[in-house]
Every structure is written in structure tokens, then in C-alpha cells.
Amino acid sequence: MESIWMKTYDRKKNPALDGDVDTEAAVIGGGMAGILTAWRLQKAGIRAVVLEADQIGGGQTKNTTAKINSQHGLFCHEFIEKKGVETAEKYLQANQHAVEEYKRIIREEDIDCDLMEADAYVYSSDGERLRQEADAAQRLGMNASFESQIEIPVACSGAVRFPDQAHFHPLKFIGALADHLTVYEDTPVTVVDGNHIKTPCGTVRADKIVFATHFPFINFPGMYFARMHQERSCVAALEGAGAINGMYIGDREDSLSFRQFDKYILLGGQAYRTGENRDGGRYERLKAAGETIYPGSHVAACWSAQDCITADDIPFIGRYASDRPDWFVATGFKKWGMSSAMVAAILLTDMICGKENPYADIFAPSRFSAGELPQIVKDSGKAVKGLTKRFFHLPDETLSALERGHGAVVETPQGKTGVYKSDEGAIFQVDIVCPHLGCELTWNPDERSWDCPCHGSRFDYEGNLLDGPAQEGIQLPFR
């Protein structure tokens, strides 16, 4: 299930770390946020290295829809009500500055990454809400407008338009930046102790350490696992669907998103909390929607993205914890990874260089407000349910009754395990306990993976790690 970015880009891997290294800054994670941060640090005169477990862009960056925009849903009015005009204004300014920074870097560095400027739209069936949002965005300084007509074929009362946004090819972009950086691929980080980063390939000692791993894998301090949850959504690249000029998202959880790339329309939707896709069929429903909206089109690629979401919908960007002054973190980007990655790179570079940044307090991981409590309580309840499930949950079925092409929690001679029976009848057994914090995993039939409903770690049917915060696989010793 390769994304269209993987299908249209090929890059030779950098070598792994070989021995010990001493540096001013080390960035853990070679996705958009990590590469941008290392690149900006280097531009600021800070010697930096990037440590990537697999290959750059091989995590969530390869699965993004790569929209560079400051329009994060219908958020302006809500942010003003919940956080006040000043915070809402700074949040919007930070993200709009990020949009302009992408354009500047691509222009000045002459990067060929299919950059296209495009207006962004959020459509809705609630016309009053749209007008309210457009007014709120204008109040915050954005040249936004309410549009009663849009070009995509969906039923709605119009949309809020943000002009002069953009989209691009994310792997081409970070590949171009990485060519000027010291990047060690195939170098998973196993332990971070003070200023020392340990990997199977050697140790890195760094004055400053940036965790840009999508979801922080160190639980204490910080406790980010208790302050975020993860969600997945599907994307289909439709060929033969024609062309559209803007980028479109809906205001509901079941809405579809649209944007153009080359000859494809990227159709997104079918969002769900990671670990809660027991019935499956999401790709089929997305493909059916594509066929209905664009008759005669066909799917050239289909994949899923995963997003970390904080309780107040604002990323955590800043110091990892008060007792780790040399550690920094960037996570919780929700569905706005591109602009948030640039915000993180700018903000963290300023912090490491000792420069004040006007947006630091908004994104500070140390922040907390009473308004976050309901979501934190909800997420904690999900975690408790997942932790206790493995003690009280009876296996779904027996090994002999499991159909081919299906997975389930099964009682075996080795105890309760996760079992997948391939289309050919081969049996793959894994430990059903997530190695992160011990939650019971669930079977995801669409992606043939084992997913954690507590904190979003994922594993393939052979037990190999796909997504963190877990740092190891779930292979059974008797296999």
C-alpha cells in the first residue's frame, strides 16, 4: 500500500551511523519536522546530525496529503472563544508564516518538488457557521472569505476560503534538504540518557537533542502518551478524475478531502481512532465514493496517514520537560503536519540558538488548561480499557475456525495470541500485548496490522513495528 509519493520518488539511502559521534545538536527522526529542523539549525551555524530508524520520510511524511496551509478546519471562531483573540491570532500567524517559509525556501534553494500555489477551502452544510468562521478569520488578520459556490461535486452550503496556500511533493522536498545534511539512516535510537543517544550502530553525544519522531517514545518525563491520542485516515489517488484548482476539506468527521497532484485527485476520508477499525471496509467505501463522484476514474494508489492529536488541538513544540533543559520535542500536529513541521523547525531553532520567539508560549508542552480535561479523561479511559482488556477479554475464535485472510485474538497451545491466517493458509502468530505500555492489540482488517487502541502503536501481521511510540516488535519467541 505505497503512497503516491513513494511511487513517484526514489532516493538512495544514506549510510547508517558507524561508531561514536560528538555534535552540537542531534535530531531523532528524519521526517518533515526532523529534516527541516536540522536544516534550519545548520543554516544558523549549529552543527547537527539526523538519526533515522529507517529512511528519511519513511514514517508519516510519506503518507501525508502534503497540503501546506494555515487553514486548519473551521478553527478560528472556536479558538477565539476557547483561547482568546491573542492566542488564536498568534496560532494563525505562526502557521501562515510557515506557508510563506516553504515558498521562500523552495524558491531560494531552487527545489524541484512540484510546488503549486492553491486556495484552501473548508466546506460545510451549515452556511451560518461558515460566515461566522470567515468573519473570525478576518478578525485574526487573514484575507478569508465566504464562498457560496465551489468546484468540487459535494452537497454543501459553501465554504470558507483561505487564499495563497500551497501543496507539493513532500519526499522530493525533504530529499533536497537532506542532501545538505549529515543524515544517518537505518539507525534506530534505543536509549537517550542525558546528552547521550544510544543506537545499535554507535553513540551520539549532543549538546541539544530534538525528538521529532511523530510520537515521543520516552514516556517519562513528559508523559506525552497520556496527553495525546492517534487517528488514521485513508487516501486514494484517483486517475482519470479530471482536475481541480483548490484544496478542499469538510467540517465533519465523515467528510471527504480533495486536492490535485499531477494527473491525480487525492481523495481522503474514512478517519478513525487507531485501534478501532475492527469491521474494516474503509478503503472500499472510499473507493466507492470516488467512483460515485468521478465516474470512470480508477485508483492508482491507496494508503493511510496517522496523526497525533493533543487535547487542545495545538501541537507540543518546545522543551521536552522542565528537568531536561537540553531536550526538545515536536509532536501532536493533528492533520496539519506540513505547516506544523515548519512552525516546529522555526521555533526549536530559535530556542536552541537562544533567540526569543513570539509563538513559544502557545505551543509550549508545559501548558495546561481546564478545557483540556474532558479529552484527557476520555483518552485515559480508552487506555484503561485497553490495559484491562487482555486480562478479561476472551479470545475471539479458535485457530481452526479462523478464515483465510483474517486475523483475530485466538486461544492457542501457547496461550492467547494474535493470529493471522493468510490467503494461502499460512499461520502468523504474534504477542497480543503492546510492548509500549501493555495494552491489548486489535486486528485492523483493512491494513492487515495489529493496532494499539491506547496510544496508537502498530505492527504488521508478522510482528514487525510499523508505528510508535512502541520501540520493538511483537514477534513471539517460539516462532
- How is the chain split into domains, by residue range? 9-64+171-226+313-368, 230-310, 390-467
The CATH number given to 230-310 is 3.30.9.100
Please tell me the distance from the alpha carbon of residue 189 to that of residue 216, in angstroms, as a whole number: 12
Q: Where are the beta strands (DSSP E) in 240-323?
A: 247-250, 257-261, 264-273, 298-310, 316-321
Please tell me the distance from the alpha carbon of residue 382 to that of residue 95, in angstroms, as a whole number: 31
Picking from 426, 471, 469, 467, the residue whose alpha carbon sits closest to that of residue 450 is 467
Helix (H) or strand (E) holding 232: strand 228-239
Residues forming beta bridges with residue 304, ordered by sequence position? 234
Picking from 42, 51, 34, 33, the residue whose alpha carbon sits closest to that of residue 205 is 51
Which CATH number fits the domain 9-64+171-226+313-368, given the four candidates 3.30.70.260, 3.50.50.60, 3.30.420.130, 3.90.1200.10?
3.50.50.60
The phi, psi pair for 127, rounded to 5°, reads -65, -35
> Cα–Cα–Cα angle for 403, 405, 407, nearest 5°?
75
Judge whether 52 and 184 are in contact, CB under 8 Å.
yes
Judge whether 479 and 418 are in contact, CB under 8 Å.
no
Please tell me the distance from the alpha carbon of residue 96 to that of residue 101, in angstroms, as a whole number: 9
Burial 345-372 (b: 16+ CB within 10 A, else e): bbbbbbbbeeeebebbebbebeeeeeeb
Please tell me the distance from the alpha carbon of residue 345 to that of residue 19, in angstroms, as a whole number: 28
Please tell me the distance from the alpha carbon of residue 107 to that of residue 386, in angstroms, as a whole number: 48
Please tell me the distance from the alpha carbon of residue 126 to that of residue 186, in angstroms, as a whole number: 48
33 CB-contact burial (10 Å; exposed 0-12 / middle 13-18 / buried 19+) = buried
The type of residue at 101 is: E
Please tell me the distance from the alpha carbon of residue 147 to that of residue 393, in angstroms, as a whole number: 51
- What 8-state DSSP symbol labels residue 149? -
Q: What is the pTM of this model?
A: 0.92
Per-residue pLDDT of the chain (479 residues; tens, 9 = 90+): 899 999 999 999 999 999 999 999 999 999 999 999 999 999 999 999 999 999 999 999 999 999 999 999 999 999 999 999 999 999 999 999 999 999 999 999 999 999 999 999 999 999 999 999 999 999 999 999 999 999 999 999 999 999 999 999 999 999 999 999 999 999 999 999 999 999 999 999 999 999 999 999 999 999 999 999 999 999 999 999 999 999 999 999 899 999 999 999 999 999 999 999 988 999 999 999 999 999 999 999 999 999 999 999 999 999 999 999 999 999 999 999 999 999 999 999 999 999 999 999 999 999 976 566 666 666 666 555 555 555 545 556 667 778 899 999 988 776 789 999 999 999 999 999 999 999 999 999 999 999 999 999 999 999 999 999 999 999 987 54
Specify the fold of 390-467. Rieske Iron-sulfur Protein (2.102.10)
Judge whether 91 and 362 are in contact, CB under 8 Å.
yes
Alpha-carbon 372 to chain mean position: 21
Please tell me the distance from the alpha carbon of residue 444 to that of residue 304, in angstroms, as a whole number: 12
Residues 6+ apart with CB under 8 A from 406: 420, 421, 443, 445
Helix (H) or strand (E) holding 290: helix 282-293
Helix (H) or strand (E) holding 89: helix 85-108
